[in-house]
Copies of this chain bind each other. A is one copy, B any other.
Amino acid sequence: MNRRAPAPLPDAARRVLRGDRQALARLISQVENRDRSVLPAVRALYARSGHATVVGLTGPLGVGKSSILNLLLGHLRALRKRVGIVAVDPSSPFSGGSILGDRIRLERPAGDDGVFIRSMAARGHAGGVALATRETVRLLDAFGMEVILVETVGSGQSDVEIHEVASTSVVVVVPHLGDDVQSMKAGLFEIADVFCVNKADLPGADSAAKYLTEMTQLGVAKGRWRPQVIQTSTTPPRGISELWEAIAAHEAYLDSSGSRRGQDRQRLTGEILGLVRERVDASLAAALERDPDLQAVLDRVVARKIDPHTAADRLLAAVRRPK
């Protein structure tokens, strides 16, 4: 229990809660830049988050993730759900970039206040994008978005691991997996709560779906979630409502099985450790800048008077001293 009286709500937070889209956009930009001046607002809005369904879409390049995302957005709007989209995938037309130069940039329908689309720049130091993505999802959540769709590239070594952000991870594949079978083994297979076999009009879709269904039956204990395999196509649209039902079924499972809380805890622990590392890195940089003794320590390592481990111990001691 927190015994302190709640601090007054910072202005930026109040605006976001009032539905001010510009205030939200500005706050997200500051979070993306890891601007610590907005920490009070970010902290205050945390208590107002935790209501949205956060769905991750990942998969190799070229499988049609963005088209699926676009159709899913339409489906959810038809269901009157308020939807946030966070595109971390640099090839996504939602993020403005596109591998194919002639693809149009996808934007929210004009005047539709029930949609907020945001792209994250996949730059900055390792871990920074992941932290910014999590906080952005939470800001959209506090803003009142009921479903938040997060799109990333499923490279297996992405900066943003989708299952660390989303409560339901959808892995999009196409009938002919080819080389991607390897990367599936390496990581995507384990994180999928729902498989989306897109381009289901292509030959081989049924056997791909059958293969995935068989794979998902291996090693799943009784009573545990068994990943659903949904076939979709985008021209013409097919399977989108089934895809949403599979996502909703997984969300219902998280509640009925009691596993949601444990997963939340695991995700939040990872995020908190990321925040600690971010602070340590900042402390280190600041200590190195202001403390000539530490610079001398580095010089002595270069001169091989002391070794890197000894230097690391001294730097750690400097970080341990509170400023």
Contacts and interface: CB of A to CB of B under 8 A. Distances in A.
Q: Is chain A's interface secondary structure helix, strand, loop, or mixed overall?
A: helix
Interface string A72-96: 0000000000000000000000000
Interface string A118-134: 00000000100000000
A268 to B, nearest CB: 5
Per assembly, the copies of the chain total 2
Given A265-B299, A269-B298, A320-B319, A307 B47 contact: yes
A322 interface: yes
A157 B160 CA distance: 13
Interface stretch (A20-28, A221-229, A250-258, A277-285): A277-285
Contact of A305 (B2, B43, B269, B319): B2
Which of A279, A281, A302 counts the most chain B CB atoms within 10 A? A302
A248 interface: no
Interface string A300-319: 11101111111111011101
Chain A, interface size category, equals 35 or more
A276 B287 CA distance: 13
A311 B107 CA distance: 36
A272 interface: yes
B275 A308 contact: yes
B268 A46 contact: no
A201 interface: no
B315 A272 contact: yes
A42 interface: yes
A1 interface: yes
A271 interface: yes
A39 interface: yes
Contacts of A307: 42-43, 46-47
B316 A280 contact: yes
Interface in A149-164: 157
B43 A302 contact: no
Contact of A309 (B43, B309, B322): B43
A308 B46 contact: yes
Contact of A157 (B157, B275, B280, B305): B157
A276 B272 contact: no
Interface of A: 1-2, 39, 42-43, 46-47, 49-50, 126, 157, 261, 264-265, 268-269, 271-273, 275-281, 284, 288, 298-302, 304-313, 315-317, 319-322
21 contacts: A1-B305, A39-B309, A42-B307, A43-B307, A43-B310, A46-B304, A46-B307, A47-B304, A49-B304, A265-B302, A268-B301, A268-B308, A269-B288, A271-B308, A272-B315, A276-B280, A276-B284, A276-B319, A277-B277, A280-B280, A280-B319
